[in-house]
Structure 1
Amino acid sequence: MATNNKVKLNSLLRSQPSGVVLASSWLVDQGYSFELLKQYKKSRWFESIGSGALVRYEDQVDYLGGVYALQTQLGLSIHPAAKTALSLQGKAHYLEMSADKAQLFVSLNENVPLWFKKYDWGLALEITSTSFLPADLGLVDVEHKSFSVKVSSPARAVMECLYSVPKSQPLLEVYEIMEGLNNLRPASVQALLEACKSVKVKRLFLYLAEKAGHDWFNYLDLKKVDLGSGKRSIVQGGTYVPKYQITVPKELEVVS
């Protein structure tokens, strides 16, 4: 391998942490030609995990190493969300968490590469495309191995859980999550509520927060939150809550 190519290889190895995917399109933008990448693979510096993605040879890479590439190299908004985000921050230890599934949210009209969706990460990827919240609001950095990824903050994660109610997420379980979130920052919650486009999510969030009796709820300015008009039936045959104009499961209303 020519000296210049060795220099480029060493620079790449130093600049990128181990345990992450390297997107081929990003590498080309950084000055690494497809021909050079072929040489690196032939020399067993890197190996392919699908069309358009490389990893260091025999490196141990999990789905978060793929998320790192999507966020930092390809500029996508995809991020660990809902219960997965809570678990990564140690906020869901009291819940039944599935070790074989990761919940990810991504903005509408963003295309997630096939290499990420098709590669066997050892778990199932549940990717939800939605823009009910701004892509860059309410995210935090979580350290993983030798790198970090952006994941939903606890407040955003709860809203993402509520987005899936009742189709794939029981509301009673979200209430159990909400009960443990007694130290949210009112300003952060306020910003999320004002920016949220889902009336259902906002009403349910406020209902659960008030029911949980959190002190931070009292510092919210609900006059600035658009709660829409008309009734929302979350479940059939449930109990109607006049204040928020929602119908919730009967078993939730008897919880004190």
Structure 2
Amino acid sequence: MGSKINQLLQQWPAGKVATLRWLNSRGVDRRLADKYVQSGWLQRLGHGAYMRAGETVDWVGAVHALQTQLGLAVHPGGISAIELRGYTHYLALGAREVVLFGSPGTKLPAWFEAHPWSRPVTLVTTGVFAGSEKTTSTLPIDGVGLEVATLERAAFEMMYLVPKRQSYEEAFQVMESLTSLRPKVVQQLLEGCTSVKTKRLFMHAAERANHPWLKRLEMSAVDFGSGRRTIHAGGRLDKKYDLVVADPGQG
């Protein structure tokens, strides 16, 4: 048993969760994993998840396990991804929740949902970005490589959450800082996203911020739908996008 556990611990990157699926792939079944727990080599994080004894793991190491071991198509998105990429340092973030995005029907394992991470982690499932090509990239966080939404995708996800889970005022502040978005990726998201509200809000905020990359977009290829969208009753009407939204500072 000694050589197997030594080999296992050598393969186990620091700060990461190991799921039973990962252990099984290395010849360790649940019974043997439980023996390792009893022997003080491992600690059980929850049903089907383990960590090295004496180590501390946080949501980053757990999300890495979801992505790489369980094959769940989830990623930090919205303002969480923008924060992780270093673009919201001027906002009062504190221990705000981490928002994961996943496709419809995605469910997080019970061990993940039950564990008290350093920050609350919430899953948002939506299919409105299904038409878009891969818009995540690997970002090193605390020594762990996570798939995180690109700035372009995160900005759309942020607008998707307005107004129920994300304030427009904060979203606009963040949008003002996104001066170097890639027009090609923005174009792809505008054409692929099926949420009319999200696309209109994104363009409304980007035009208010007067970003230089706007000039390189081909708006004739984008379907903005029809009918008014009211984000804030009593707000100002943007006639171009038929969108009623509060001015930043009001909501």
TM-score if structure 2 supplies the norm length? 0.92
Give the one of 15, 21, 43 matched to 1:19: 15
Task: Check the 8 A contact 2:82/2:151 in 1, yes or no.
Answer: yes
Residues 106-125 of structure 1 deviation map (CA, whole Å, 9 limit, x = unaligned): 21111210100110113222
What is the CA–CA distance in structure 1 between the aligned matches of 2:196 and 2:7, rounded to whole Å?
49
What is the CA–CA distance in structure 2 between the aligned matches of 1:50 and 1:252, rounded to whole Å?
43
1:69 is matched with 65
Letter paired with 1:139: T
Of stretches 160-169 and 176-185 in structure 1, the one that deviates more from structure 2 is 160-169
Matched, 1:245 2:249: no
1:235 is matched with 232
Cα distance, 1:145–1:216 mapped onto 2, change above 3 Å:
same
Residues 37-96 of structure 1 deviation map (CA, whole Å, 9 limit, x = unaligned): 122212222110111100011112110110000000001112111121111111111222
Letter paired with 1:159: F
TM-score if structure 1 supplies the norm length? 0.91
1:87 is matched with 83
What is the CA–CA distance in structure 2 between the aligned matches of 1:13 and 1:194, rounded to whole Å?
46
Counterpart mapping for 1:181-192 below 5 A: 181-192=178-189
Cα distance, 1:89–1:41 mapped onto 2, change above 3 Å:
same
Residues 3-54 of structure 1 deviation map (CA, whole Å, 9 limit, x = unaligned): xxx2x43443333311010111332244321222122212222110111100
2:214 is matched with 217
2:112 is matched with 116
1:137 is matched with 134
1:56 is matched with 52
Give the one of 202, 205, 208 matched to 2:205: 208
Residues 95-142 of structure 1 deviation map (CA, whole Å, 9 limit, x = unaligned): 221314222222111121010011011322222121221386321211
2:149 is matched with 152
2:5 is matched with 9
1:104 is matched with 100
What is the CA–CA distance in structure 2 between the aligned matches of 1:184 and 1:89, rounded to whole Å?
13
What is the CA–CA distance in structure 1 between the aligned matches of 2:90 and 2:194, rounded to whole Å?
29
Task: Check the 8 A contact 2:60/2:144 in 1, yes or no.
Answer: no
What is the CA–CA distance in structure 1 between the aligned matches of 2:121 and 2:143, rounded to whole Å?
22
Give ranges in structure 2 of 5+ residues lacking alignment: none
Letter paired with 2:87: K
- Please, what is the CA RMSD of the aligned residues? 1.9
Letter paired with 1:26: W
Q: Tell me the SS of whatever aligns to 2:104.
A: coil
2:171 is matched with 174
Of stretches 105-114 and 47-56 in structure 1, the one that deviates more from structure 2 is 105-114
1:197 is matched with 194
Task: Check the 8 A contact 1:17/1:146 in 2, yes or no.
Answer: no
2:158 is matched with 161
Give the one of 65, 71, 74 matched to 1:78: 74
Cα distance, 1:31–1:181 mapped onto 2, change above 3 Å:
same
